Amino acid sequence: MDRGSNRTVLLALLSVLLISGCQGGNILGVFTSLSPSHLIIHMSMAKVLAENGHNVTVITALKPVVNHKDITVVQVPMSEEDHKHMSATIAQFASQDNSNMVITMFRSMGQMKFMMDKMRDIMKDQRVKDLYENKDNKFDLVMLGYFLNTYQLGIAHKLKAPVVVAASMPPNEIFNTVVGNPSVASFVPAMNMAVERGQIMTFVQRVQNFLTNIAMKVFFAILENYNANSYKEVYGDDPTMPPFEEICKNVSLAFFSSHALSEGPIRPNVPAVIEVGGIQIKDKPNPLPKQLAEFLSNADNSAILLSLGSNVKSSHLKSDTNNKIFHVLSKLKQRIIWKWEDLDNTPGKSDNILYSKWLPQDDILAHPNITLFITHAGKGGITEAQYHGKPMLALPIFGDQPSNALRMVKDGFGLSLSLLTLEEQPFKESLTELLENPQYTHKVKTFSALYRDRPMSARESVLYWSEYVMRHHGAPHLQSPLMQMNFIASNNLDVFALLVTVLIVFIYISKFVLTVVIKKLKGKPKNTDKLKKH
Ligand SMILES: *[C@@H]1O[C@H](CO)[C@@H](O)[C@H](O)[C@H]1NC(C)=O
Ligand SMILES: *[C@@H]1O[C@H](CO)[C@@H](O)[C@H](O)[C@H]1NC(C)=O
Ligand SMILES: *[C@@H]1O[C@H](CO)[C@@H](O)[C@H](O)[C@H]1NC(C)=O
């Protein structure tokens, strides 16, 4: 190679570097949710951006499980005392009946406020303030992990950067407001309404749905009021900050962890709703740790994964319940991987059971020898099992889990039992049904094919739309008109009022004219008589 071509190569390399350097944006992820499963979703989005050459900084409370070497994590950890409080609350939830979503929602208000207080403290931390007080920092995009923290949108205003929202749930009454997505109670069932595919709600269900939507709106309004106070507390000292209501109207678009095309419900979404359900699932699973890989490759009669998620520890359950689960599982011919934290203190030893503290759930579910997933029915776990086409036995605990389980059963992907009242016999029968009747696997595999069939993968969507917002410095042109309308206008109540008034006036006038005409026709002589007498 001569010097000329050497130089060309160098120049080419340099321009590639320069171009990628220009394209790489500075992105701030604000992921303060105290729920590990939310953080997995949020970090999976940040990871896609980091993998594609963006400089990503994230603020978290928890230590992220999903991470990337180029992501700068600013962790503002909770105190030991707060961790204890959270754990105690979860244990309490695990011991009560949470099957009614609306009642559970209001009962969890105290816990919500506790979490909101902790999230607010993070925003007041100097490490977070430094990000906007240091004038050298320049961010092209803020991604806000959205869960009852609307006031945190204030940081995007501080940084003069456009903002997108990352929600770990499907669009619903609570999340719709962030991008002005319409709420349609007549045919879009709320989370807790399991309506079979292709069926419409009955009259009773519509009444129930309508009331649930109102309850969710009230719940949300109470927490938004709380958020308004947090906004004052965090940003109140800065007179240049716009009012809270204005801050709420500046979201460019929202990523939701759902895929309505396959999962339903069929509903209208505004263009600012970008569905990226399954974002946490790897296109190709990572190799399993040696111990797990060996355990599964020698599973002559297939294997089961049991995990009750990241919030609930096995110690939160009654030891009696754990023993019943152990008795049944230890007698199966299948091998079982059981997520269990305290390895010195297990419900019992059995050759077919492997306890493990931490599990790469997505990679395990991808393994061909796993034929059943026993789950607490968190949205993340259900999504992964659906993606990998594995039937489920749900043992829901709280939050959206009972509703997720209900839907999963309606979809025919498995069965659900109450963890609170779990007995050996029904547990064993459910397992036998799921392991021996192929219909569940068939249904969930059919769904899996539908779920994966998309014009753009979840990762591609996150990358494309995040870069879109950066390219255009925000997306006000995508904004739903509902963001600027009040309750009366958005429900056309003023139009109805006008029409009803016109109708009433018309009826009145018609009646008046009619009486006059009738009187004229029938009683003209009588009337004139009367008049003459006076
Ligand atoms: C990446 O972001 C951090 C802020 O967390 C900043 O300090 C750093 O300079 C940025 N790197 C580049 C190459 O822009
Ligand atoms: C809304 O976002 C744009 C950037 O997309 C910014 O210029 C504007 O100041 C923001 N408005 C408010 C009220 O935050
Ligand atoms: C699944 O189990 C069978 C039977 O033990 C084994 O032959 C096979 O290699 C296993 N598959 C994988 C991918 O480990």
The pLDDT of residue 20 is 45
Which residue(s) pair with 165 in the sheet? Answer: 144, 254
CA atoms of 169 and 339, how far apart (whole Å): 24
Q: Is 340 a domain residue?
A: yes
Q: Is 424 a domain residue?
A: yes
Question: Residue 515: pLDDT band by 50, 70, 90 thresholds?
Answer: very high
For ligand 1, the distance from its centroid to the CA atom of residue 58, given in whole angstroms, is 12
The region of weakest confidence among 91-100, 180-189, 341-350, 441-450 is: 91-100
The pLDDT of residue 524 is 60
The pLDDT of residue 13 is 54
Q: Is 168 a domain residue?
A: yes
Index of the ligand 3 atom closest to the CA of residue 299 = 5
Q: Does any ligand 1 atom lie closer than 6 A to the CB of residue 57?
A: yes
Q: Does any ligand 3 atom lie closer than 6 A to the CB of residue 300?
A: yes
Q: Kindly tell me if the per-residue pLDDT of 56 is higher than 70.
A: yes
Q: Does any ligand 1 atom lie closer than 6 A to the CB of residue 346?
A: no
CA atoms of 49 and 29, how far apart (whole Å): 11
The region of weakest confidence among 92-101, 128-137, 302-311 is: 92-101
Residues 107 and 124 in one domain: yes
Residues 119 and 241 in one domain: yes
Q: What angle do CA 13, 18, 22 make, to 5 degrees?
A: 150
Residues 518 and 417 in one domain: no
Residues 50 and 181 in one domain: yes
For the chain, the average pLDDT equals 89
Q: Kindly tell me if the per-residue pLDDT of 479 is higher than 80.
A: yes
The pLDDT of residue 18 is 47
Task: Look at ligand 2, atom 6, and give the residue with the nearest C-alpha.
Answer: 160
For 75-108, b where at least 16 C-beta lie within 10 A, e where not — what string?
Answer: ebebeeebeeebeebbeebbeeebbebbebbeeb
| Ligand number nearest to the C-alpha of 20 | 1
Q: Does any ligand 2 atom lie closer than 6 A to the CB of residue 429?
A: no
Question: Residue 108: pLDDT band by 50, 70, 90 thresholds?
Answer: confident
Q: Is 181 a domain residue?
A: yes
What six digits make up the tokens of 532?
């003459």
Residues 346 and 243 in one domain: no
The pLDDT of residue 63 is 92
Residues 118 and 131 in one domain: yes
For ligand 1, the distance from its centroid to the CA atom of residue 127, given in whole angstroms, is 15
Q: Is 7 a domain residue?
A: no
Q: Does any ligand 1 atom lie closer than 6 A to the CB of residue 54?
A: no
Task: Look at ligand 2, atom 14, and give the residue with the nearest C-alpha.
Answer: 157
We report the CATH number of the domain holding residue 297 as 3.40.50.2000
The pLDDT of residue 159 is 95
For ligand 1, the distance from its centroid to the CA atom of residue 26, given in whole angstroms, is 7
CA atoms of 331 and 326, how far apart (whole Å): 9
What six digits make up the tokens of 525?
């002589």
What is the full DSSP assignment across 165-197? EEESS-S-TTTGGGTT----TTTS--TT----T
What is the average per-residue pLDDT within 201-206?
93
Q: Is 77 a domain residue?
A: yes
pLDDT tens digits, one per residue of 487-508: 899 999 999 999 999 999 999 9
Q: Does any ligand 1 atom lie closer than 6 A to the CB of residue 330?
A: no
Residues 180 and 160 in one domain: yes
The pLDDT of residue 7 is 59
E-strand ranges in 161-278 read: 163-167, 251-256, 273-275
Domain boundary among 436, 452, 468: 452
Q: No. of H helices and E strands in the chain? A: 20, 13
Question: Residue 318: pLDDT band by 50, 70, 90 thresholds?
Answer: confident
What is the average per-residue pLDDT within 460-469?
97
Task: Look at ligand 1, atom 4, and give the residue with the nearest C-alpha.
Answer: 57
Question: Residue 476: pLDDT band by 50, 70, 90 thresholds?
Answer: very high
| Ligand number nearest to the C-alpha of 475 | 2
- What is the torsional sign of CA 146, 152, 154, 155? negative
pLDDT tens digits, one per residue of 250-288: 999 999 999 999 988 889 999 999 999 999 998 889 999
Residues 387 and 532 in one domain: no
pLDDT tens digits, one per residue of 141-200: 999 999 889 999 999 999 999 999 999 888 988 889 999 999 888 989 887 677 777 788
Q: Is 14 a domain residue?
A: no
| Ligand number nearest to the C-alpha of 334 | 3
Task: Look at ligand 1, atom 2, and give the residue with the nearest C-alpha.
Answer: 55
**Residue 228 is which amino acid?**
A
Residues 355 and 475 in one domain: no
Domain that holds residue 381: 290-452
Residues 266 and 295 in one domain: no
Task: Look at ligand 3, atom 8, and give the residue with the nearest C-alpha.
Answer: 297
DSSP for residue 302: -
For ligand 3, the distance from its centroid to the CA atom of residue 293, given in whole angstroms, is 10
Q: Is 448 a domain residue?
A: yes
The pLDDT of residue 427 is 96
What is the average per-residue pLDDT within 214-234?
92
Q: Kindly tell me if the per-residue pLDDT of 326 is higher than 90.
A: yes
Neighbours of 26 (CB within 10 A): 16
For ligand 1, the distance from its centroid to the CA atom of residue 74, given in whole angstroms, is 13
The pLDDT of residue 19 is 46
Q: Does any ligand 2 atom lie closer than 6 A to the CB of residue 157?
A: yes
End-to-end CA, the chain: 125
For ligand 3, the distance from its centroid to the CA atom of residue 300, given in whole angstroms, is 7
CA atoms of 421 and 442, how far apart (whole Å): 29
CA atoms of 468 and 49, how far apart (whole Å): 12
How many domains is the chain partitioned into structurally? 3
Residues 142 and 262 in one domain: yes
Residues 472 and 517 in one domain: no
